[in-house]
Structures are given as structure tokens and as C-alpha cells.
């Protein structure tokens, strides 16, 4: 679709990036080869070219990672909060210094537009470490009347949609609270987590405080069933989240889950329509729609439906799908072949269920995994594209007449992660933000994130918060 | 000729009414001499489901009341219990509790209601936050009730166990279905009469009597129950694995009889964060 706009390509250079051919496991401050000798490939979803070989951690490796985390806990948990904080500040600073390398690798490995990894993922990851670094010596102010202490070893499993940022969300508060961690990035996006291991090494953290092991679902299952961690933290699908919750109950472990979503984005007829249309676009097409809080269900008040739809289509026609490394690109590559299959399955299903599909004209690159920005109209509340998380650039549009009607429709989902409201009327903003059953509600904005702002869901979107003062509770024990 | 006393029929408390169990089943509880104190309803899974319907219906109205109002209603419960102090103490003595201990349990129960009544309009001020984001947004996080809560109560201290468990749950705007102490449930059912007489809306508190072994799997698996409180220490968590299937919050209060703090209220709350741009949308460099 780039050709329609006739923009010259503006690719980010990859010359600054240093990648190894093969990555081991970061355990006890050392790079270790996997004990079974197994590796898997990570590739660039925009070119399908191999980037590196990644170690597949097996039972022995998981054991040794937890052993080293457990050993490191003894001294790390006794370190003063101020000293712990200084280590975490160092991590934040080094990420900032290496931000360009991180951004380029993130886009190469995950397919997201360089503009997003450069302006959102990497700065927010650094900011998250910086924010929690400052909490390390202030924890006693957060929980009045209670004495806090570190919990122990945390097992953390993160998804592929915001690889470095999710690693920061998990590691930063855990360390600030005096815990040690074993973290596993997602199978398709290990590289920035491994670069983060290099940063942690450079920052001089004591060996074993942060262990980063790579692998697939089998490695994750070994981690959650392991007796050592007394805390499990997971971000990912609701389906896997439920299994992890079960393992946590069985093992008597504390757990936090940040799972799927099917957010309602609601436009009233008194909303600033142009701004709202931008918000809808950002809400669903940001990061190819690989966002758990994506505004994937759009509710438009009937009186402005025609106007909103026309403007939305016009804006979609202008979105540039293509090379993630190009600074003009709005929508990059779908993260993996598997995910593309899932999305295409839903595109087919949506049409079969009777909804009308719209996609802009234009051609997609021949190599790599791509999906055009898509919207469905004539969607029924019972359609699966309106009920299930697609995790792709696919918007399901429904209409409404009254406030009560839209509140009921918006809340009619097992999920409760996020929601959006667009109206110029203040009292309506507050009526809606109060009534919507979701952990994050954006009013006249969407998809904003900040380390100071707690994030997490209601209902089957999980529990526990990440970010802000409220994100500390998940990593502390109370006497 | 001495007057024959009137014995109370102890029933369930669902949706503000006192129905018998739909199952028609009962179980006796005895005094220390082996005499029958009462035949209690052996609540069925269907009774639990009915209670969930009542609790769901009542929840949003209760949460929508002002915190000041909820505080007054909880305080009113304390007033009403104070007025019935001797009757509750006497009822507990029939269960074998020494007089002094029975009196103390009623005292503590009343004080606990007053304690949580006072928290209703304060916990959110202490535990909420306005978050200084690095972008031009007004951003704040507040607590909201998780919704419908089921709870299994301690076997000992039937009145204090009930009140210590429900007070923090309803103080935060939730509705609740409790399974009372199995063999000492008379106090719980009698307290339901206090609740019915109070300004607590019908369905906000529902009291079942029966067998935890039978009802717990249902409490853990019900898809319209947001949280399950285990207010005792003898429940095998293995039996609750099914709670994972709808990501139900599991809250463990093994020593609820001796504890009171605002964190109990927070246990049945969700944190909601709201964002709004601060600048005019037109002049905002970013944001919308």
C-alpha cells in the first residue's frame, strides 16, 4: 500500500545492532548452553529470515535457574532498599543508552513498526525500571499498618507482543521488592530479553538475581510446576493463564495474571469525531492489534454511525502496511505464521457468520506474515468475532441508541481488561468510566501506558496490577 | 402447669426472604446432652444458585449507594445487635459456649461491625492514587467491588465468624453468599433476622446452612461468582482447582476471628485506572 502514497522508503539502519549466531541461557550470571543441547530458531516475521539460534531450556536448566535464584535471594533480600534501587536505576540508564539497538532488534524479531518500538516500547521499558528503582527504599510507606518483606523467588512468563516492555513490567517491581527472578520470554521474541540479560550483567547485578531462560510452552510448564518459586507472574492468553492459575493453587503459590481482553471502545454522538476516529485507529491497529487491551469492539451511537464509518474507512485507506523497519510504516508484520493463521481463521469466520468485511485496497509484501487493517460491520453481539479475542488488526463494529444499552453490551463479556469512551460531556465520561467493568478505562484517549499507572483486569482478564503503587503488592509478603 | 416454649424454625436467608431448602433436607444440631436444638436446612446446590441470582441482582444497587450510606447501614447493624445482645449470648450458650465467652463473642461482633462501618468512606482515600504520568493525562486509580462473593465461614464462633467475614466484603460494596458454620449455624440464621430488619438491601447478604463438602465445589465453580473467601484453615485447596476456570479470585482468611484491617476490604476489590487527556485535543501534541 506504500505505493499509493508514493512515499520514499525511510528504513532504519540495522548496522548498529550486534546479534550473536547463538544464544545460551542466562543463569547465575553466566551464559550456559542448554543441558539437552536443544535450540530453536528465531526469525524476522517480515522477511522470514533466521536471526539467531535460541537455547531451549529443559528440566535441568529450569532447576539450575531456580537454584541460582534461590541462592541469590539470601543476600539480595538482605541488601538495603537504597542499594537495590541503585542497581535498578543502572538498568534503566543502560537501556536508555542502548535504546536504538533495542528498538531495532525489537522490530526485527517481533515485526512491530520501528516507530512504535522506538517511541513506545523501549522508552517505556526504561521508564519502568527507573520508576520501580525509586520504590525500593520506600516500600514501608505504601502499606500503612503492615510490615512488608520480600517474597522469595518469582517465576515470570511473558508474551510476544511487547517483549522488552513486558520483561520490564515483570522484573522491575520484583527486584525493587527484594525478590529474585527467573524469567522466560515468549518463544518467538527472545532476543530483547537476552539483550536485557547483557544489560543486567553490565549493570553488575549479583549473579542469580535475574535469570533469563528461553524456551517454549514446555519450559513454561516446568517453571510453573517447579517447587522453588513462591510467586508466579504471567502475561498471555486466558487459556494458558487458567492452567497457570491451577498450578499456582496446587503449589500454594501467590499468582498474578494479566490475560486476554475484548475491549469496548464507545463513541457517543457528542464526541469530537475526528479525534475519536484517530483513537479507534490507534486502539485497534496499534502493534498490529497484538494488544491485550486493544479496542476490538467498537460501539457507535446510531446517529453518527454513517459519519464515523466513512471517516474510519478513509483513515484506514491511509494506513501504511509493510516493512517494520521503515519509519513511514503504520502496521508492521504479524508476529508469527501461527498468529497469522489464527487471524485469518477469524476473518473467514466473521464473513461466514454474516458480518461484512472491509479492508483497504493495495498489495501486501510477498515474503513475511501480513494482515491488512480490517473492520467488520453488521456484527451481532453473539458473533464470535465480537466475543473472542482475535489478537490482530480486526475491528468489530456495533451500534447503540442509549447509554444503558451500550453499558450492558460493553460489559457482556467474560473479559474486563480495558475500555474506551468518547464524549465531550464530562458527566457522561464519569458515568461510563464507573459503569464499565474493566481495569483500565481510557476516556477520550486510548492505548496509553505509563509506569506510574496500574494496569490489569477484572473478571477473566486476570488479577493483580502491574505499574504504579498498586503494582508493588504482587511482589511483597506481609507479616 | 409450666408453659411450653416455642422453638424457632431455622431456615435459609436468600434474597431477603427465609425459604426452606428447595431440597426439603435437614440436619440436626444437638446440645451437649444430645438433645436436638434445631433441625437446620441442608442447603442444596440449587439453593446456592438461587442465592447467587439474588446476590447478583442486589450488588449494583448496593455498590451504587454512597459510602456514607453504607457506613450508616453497617453501624445500624451494630446498634441492632447491641439491642439483642442477651438473646444472641443465650442462643450461643445453648451450643455449649460458657456464658462469659458467649457474651464476649457478641461484644466483639458488635465492635467489629462498628470498625468496618467506619471504614466504608475511608479506605478509598487511603489506598487510591492519582498517578503522575509522563504524558498530559489526568490518571487515577480507585477501588471497585469485585461483585458477588461466596464465603465459607469458620466452624467455631458462629456469630463472630459470620460478621468478621461479611463486614469487610459488604463494606466494599459487594454482595455475599455465606455458608455458615455447619454445627453452630443457629447464630448465623438469627443474625440474618437482624439483617432482614435492617436497611441492608435484600440479596446483599445471603446465608446458607449445610455441608461444606457438598457445596464448596459449587461455590468454586459457579461462573457468576467473582470471588471465593475461605475463612477457615481446614479446606484443602486442591478441591478448589475448578476456581481457575473462570479466574475466580480465591481469598484465604484462615484467622479471620482475630483479625480486622482495611486490607480485608481490599481483598474483595478491583483496582480501576481511568485516563483522560488534560490538554485540549486540538492543541495536544500527542494523545487525542
- pLDDT tens, A330-342? 999 999 999 999 9
pLDDT bucket at A8, cuts 50 / 70 / 90: confident
Per-residue confidence (pLDDT) for residue B287, from 0 to 100? 45
In a domain, residue B265? The reply is: yes
- Among A257, A275, A441, the residue with its CB nearest the CB of B274 is A441
CB atoms near residue B234 (< 10 Å)? 9
Cα first-last separation, chain A:
59
Separation of alpha carbons A112 and A115, rounded Å: 8
Per-residue confidence (pLDDT) for residue A332, from 0 to 100? 98
DSSP string over A207-249: TTSEEE----HHHHHHHHH-SS-SEEEEES-HHHHHHHHHHHH
Quote the cell numbers at residue A299.
460501539
Ranges of CATH 3.40.605.10 domains, chain A: 2-259+458-478
Mean pLDDT across chain A, nearest whole number?
A: 96
Cα first-last separation, chain B:
85
In a domain, residue B17? The reply is: no
Quote the cell numbers at residue A229.
518459586
Q: Which residues of A touch B240 (CB under 8 A)?
A: 249
> Torsions phi, psi of A190, nearest 5?
-90, -20
Residues on chain B bordering chain A, Cβ-to-Cβ distance under 8 angstroms: 126, 129, 131-135, 137, 139, 141, 144, 146, 226, 237-238, 240-241, 243-247, 249-250, 261-263, 270-277, 281, 287-288
Distance from CA of A238 to the nearest CA of B (A): 9
Residue A173 burial (CB < 10 Å; 0-12/13-18/19+)? buried
Per-residue confidence (pLDDT) for residue B288, from 0 to 100? 43
Average pLDDT over residues A179-187: 98
Q: Which residues of A touch B249 (CB under 8 A)?
A: 463
Average pLDDT over residues B25-46: 94
Per-residue confidence (pLDDT) for residue A2, from 0 to 100? 45
In a domain, residue B260? The reply is: yes
State pLDDT tens for residues A227-283. Answer: 999 999 999 999 999 999 999 999 999 999 999 999 999 999 999 999 999 999 999
CATH number at residue B244: 3.40.605.10
In a domain, residue B6? The reply is: no
Q: Which residues of B touch A238 (CB under 8 A)?
A: 247
Q: Has residue A1 got a pLDDT over 60?
A: no
CB atoms near residue A50 (< 10 Å)? 11
> Distances in Å between the alpha carbon of B238 and those of A215, A256, B235, B242, B268?
29, 19, 9, 9, 22
pLDDT bucket at B207, cuts 50 / 70 / 90: very high
Q: Which residues of B touch A241 (CB under 8 A)?
A: 247
Contacts of A235 (CB under 8 A, 6+ apart): A157, A158, A159, A166, A169, A170, A257, A258, A259, A292
State pLDDT tens for residues A104-120. Answer: 999 999 999 999 999 99
Mutation test of the interface with chain A: which of B276, B277, B279, B286, choosing the one with the most A Cβ atoms within 10 A? B276
Instruction: Give kind and range of the element (H or E) at residue A254.
Output: strand A254-258
Separation of alpha carbons B243 and A12, rounded Å: 48
- Among B126, B247, B275, the residue with its CB nearest the CB of A448 is B275
Q: Has residue A4 got a pLDDT over 70?
A: no
Quote the cell numbers at residue A422.
468518547
Q: Which of A12, A177, A292, A389 is catalytic?
A: A292
Per-residue confidence (pLDDT) for residue A10, from 0 to 100? 87
CB atoms near residue B148 (< 10 Å)? 25
* Higher pLDDT among residues B128 and B2, named by residue: B128
> Distances in Å between the alpha carbon of B23 and those of A462, B41, B43?
36, 9, 7
Per-residue confidence (pLDDT) for residue A479, from 0 to 100? 86
Instruction: Give kind and range of the element (H or E) at residue A348.
Output: helix A337-352
pLDDT bucket at B118, cuts 50 / 70 / 90: very high
Per-residue confidence (pLDDT) for residue B72, from 0 to 100? 98
Per-residue confidence (pLDDT) for residue A5, from 0 to 100? 59
Report the percent of chain B where pLDDT is more than 70.
97
Separation of alpha carbons A235 and A240, rounded Å: 9
Between β-strands B205-208 and B175-179, what pairing exists: parallel, antiparallel or unpaired?
Answer: parallel
Question: Number of structural domains, chain B?
Answer: 1
A residues 410-429 near B, CB within 8 Å? 414, 429
Mutation test of the interface with chain B: which of A249, A279, A423, choosing the one with the most B Cβ atoms within 10 A? A249
Q: Which of A12, A187, A258, A473 is catalytic?
A: A258
Q: Has residue B284 got a pLDDT over 60?
A: no
Q: Work out how many CB contacts closer than 8 A connect A with B.
A: 124
In a domain, residue B48? The reply is: yes
Write out the CATH class of domain A2-259+458-478: alpha beta
Q: Has residue A100 got a pLDDT over 70?
A: yes
Q: Has residue A164 got a pLDDT over 60?
A: yes
Contact present, B189 and B207 (Cβ < 8 Å): yes
Nearest to B112 by CA among B156, B178, B157: B157
Distance from CA of B197 to the nearest CA of A (A): 30
Nearest to A212 by CA among A171, A257, A249, A248: A171
Quote the cell numbers at residue A330.
503504520
Average pLDDT over residues B62-71: 98
Q: Cβ of A460 and B246 within 8 Å?
A: yes
Q: Cβ of B273 and A249 within 8 Å?
A: no
Instruction: Give counts: helices (H), strands (E), chain B.
Output: 9, 10
Per-residue confidence (pLDDT) for residue B280, from 0 to 100? 54
Per-residue confidence (pLDDT) for residue A3, from 0 to 100? 47
Domain that holds residue B175: 26-277
Ranges of CATH 3.40.309.10 domains, chain A: 264-443
In a domain, residue B111? The reply is: yes
Q: Has residue B285 got a pLDDT over 90?
A: no
Q: Has residue A464 got a pLDDT over 60?
A: yes
Mean pLDDT across chain B, nearest whole number?
A: 95
Q: Has residue B141 got a pLDDT over 60?
A: yes
Distance from CA of A35 to the nearest CA of B (A): 33
Match domain A264-443 to its CATH number in 3.40.309.10, 1.10.287.1080, 1.20.1440.230, 3.40.630.10.
3.40.309.10
In a domain, residue B66? The reply is: yes
SS3 A457: coil
Contact present, A154 and A464 (Cβ < 8 Å): no
SS3 B252: strand
Amino acid at each position: 500500500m506504500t505505493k499509493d502514497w508514493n512515499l520514499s522508503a525511510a528504513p532504519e539502519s540495522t548496522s548498529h545492532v550486534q546479534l550473536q549466531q547463538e544464544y545460551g541461557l542466562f543463569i547465575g550470571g553466566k551464559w550456559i548452553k542448554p543441558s539437552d543441547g536443544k535450540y530453536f530458531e528465531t526469525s524476522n516475521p517480515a522477511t522470514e529470515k533466521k536471526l539467531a539460534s535460541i537455547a531451549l531450556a529443559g528440566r535441568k536448566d529450569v532447576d539450575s535457574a531456580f537454584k541460582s535464584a534461590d541462592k541469590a535471594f539470601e543476600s539480595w533480600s538482605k541488601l538495603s532498599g537504597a542499594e537495590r534501587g541503585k542497581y535498578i536505576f543502572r538498568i534503566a540508564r543502560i537501556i536508555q543508552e542502548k535504546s536504538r539497538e533495542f528498538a531495532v532488534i525489537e522490530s526485527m524479531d517481533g515485526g512491530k513498526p520501528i516507530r512504535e518500538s522506538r517511541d513506545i516500547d523501549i522508552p517505556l521499558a526504561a521508564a519502568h525500571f527507573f520508576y520501580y528503582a525509586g520504590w525500593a527504599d520506600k516500600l514501608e510507606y505504601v502499606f500503612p499498618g503492615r510490615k512488608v518483606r520480600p517474597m522469595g523467588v518469582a517465576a515470570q512468563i511473558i508474551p510476544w507482543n511487547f517483549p522488552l516492555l513486558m520483561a520490564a513490567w515483570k522484573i522491575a517491581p520484583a527486584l525493587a521488592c527484594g525478590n529474585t527472578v527467573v524469567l522466560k520470554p515468549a518463544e518467538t521474541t527472545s532476543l530483547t530479553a537476552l539483550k536485557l540479560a547483557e544489560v543486567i550483567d553490565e549493570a553488575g547485578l549479583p549473579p542469580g538475581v535475574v535469570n533469563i531462560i528461553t524456551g517454549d510452552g514446555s519450559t513454561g510448564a516446568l517453571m510453573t510446576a517447579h517447587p522453588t518459586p513462591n510467586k508466579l507472574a504471567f502475561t498471555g492468553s486466558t487459556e494458558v493463564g487458567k492452567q497457570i492459575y491451577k498450578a499456582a493453587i496446587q503449589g500454594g503459590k501467590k499468582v498474578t495474571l494479566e490475560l486476554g481482553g475484548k475491549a469496548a471502545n464507545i463513541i457517543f454522538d457528542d464526541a469530537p469525531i475526528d479525534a475519536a476516529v484517530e483513537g479507534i485507529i490507534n486502539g485497534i491497529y496499534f502493534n498490529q492489534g497484538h494488544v491485550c487491551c486493544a479496542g476490538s469492539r467498537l460501539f457507535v451511537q446510531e446517529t453518527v454511525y454513517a459519519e464515523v464509518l466513512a471517516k474510519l474507512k478513509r483513515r484506514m485507506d491511509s494506513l501504511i502496511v509493510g516493512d517494520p523497519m521503515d519509519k513511514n510504516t503504520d502496521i508492521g508484520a504479524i508476529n508469527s505464521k501461527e498468529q497469522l493463521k489464527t487471524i485469518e481463521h477469524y476473518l473467514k469466520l466473521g464473513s461466514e457468520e454474516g458480518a461484512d468485511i472491509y479492508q483497504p485496497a493495495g498489495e501486501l509484501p510477498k515474503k513475511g506474515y501480513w494482515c491488512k487493517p480490517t473492520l467488520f460491520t453488521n456484527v451481532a453481539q453473539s458473533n464470535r468475532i465480537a466475543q473472542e479475542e482475535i489478537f490482530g488488526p480486526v475491528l468489530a463494529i456495533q451500534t447503540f441508541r442509549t447509554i444503558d444499552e451500550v453499558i450492558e453490551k460493553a460489559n457482556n463479556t467474560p473479559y474486563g481488561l480495558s475500555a474506551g469512551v468518547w464524549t465531550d460531556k464530562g458527566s457522561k465520561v464519569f458515568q461510563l468510566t464507573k459503569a464499565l467493568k474493566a481495569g483500565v478505562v481510557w476516556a477520550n484517549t486510548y492505548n496509553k501506558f505509563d509506569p506510574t499507572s496500574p494496569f490489569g483486569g477484572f473478571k477473566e482478564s486476570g488479577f493483580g496490577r502491574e505499574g504504579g503503587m498498586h503494582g508493588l503488592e504482587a511482589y511483597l509478603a506481609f507479616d | 402447669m409450666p408453659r411450653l416454649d416455642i422453638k424457632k424454625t431455622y431456615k435459609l436467608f436468600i434474597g431477603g426472604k427465609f425459604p426452606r431448602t428447595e431440597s426439603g433436607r435437614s440436619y440436626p444440631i444437638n446440645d451437649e446432652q444430645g438433645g436436638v436444638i434445631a433441625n437446620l436446612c441442608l442447603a442444596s446446590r440449587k439453593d446456592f444458585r438461587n442465592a447467587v441470582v439474588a446476590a447478583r441482582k442486589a450488588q449494583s444497587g448496593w455498590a451504587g449507594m454512597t459510602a456514607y450510606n453504607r457506613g450508616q447501614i453497617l453501624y445500624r447493624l451494630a446498634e441492632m445487635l447491641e439491642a439483642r445482645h442477651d438473646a444472641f449470648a443465650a442462643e450461643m450458650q445453648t451450643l455449649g459456649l460458657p456464658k462469659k465467652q458467649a457474651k464476649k463473642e457478641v461484644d466483639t461482633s458488635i465492635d467489629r461491625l462498628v470498625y468496618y462501618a467506619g471504614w466504608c468512606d475511608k479506605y478509598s482515600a487511603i489506598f487510591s492514587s492519582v498517578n503522575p504520568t509522563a504524558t498530559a493525562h489526568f490518571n487515577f486509580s480507585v477501588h471497585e467491588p469485585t461483585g458477588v462473593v461466596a464465603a465459607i465461614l469458620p466452624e467455631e464462633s458462629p456469630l463472630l465468624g459470620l460478621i468478621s467475614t461479611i463486614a469487610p466484603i459488604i463494606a466494599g460494596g459487594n454482595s455475599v453468599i455465606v455458608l455458615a458454620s455447619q454445627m453452630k449455624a443457629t447464630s448465623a440464621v438469627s443474625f440474618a433476622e437482624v439483617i432482614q430488619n435492617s436497611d441492608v438491601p435484600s440479596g446483599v447478604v445471603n446465608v446458607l446452612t449445610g455441608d461444606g463438602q457438598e457445596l464448596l465445589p459449587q461455590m468454586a465453580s459457579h461462573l457468576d461468582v467473582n470471588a471465593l473467601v475461605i475463612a477457615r484453615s481446614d479446606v484443602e485447596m486442591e478441591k478448589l482447582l475448578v476456581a481457575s476456570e473462570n479466574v475466580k479470585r480465591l481469598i484465604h482468611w484462615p484467622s479471620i476471628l482475630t483479625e480486622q484491617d482495611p486490607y480485608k476490604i481490599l481483598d474483595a476489590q478491583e483496582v480501576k485506572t481511568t485516563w483522560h487527556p488534560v490538554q485540549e485535543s486540538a492543541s495536544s501534541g500527542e494523545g487525542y
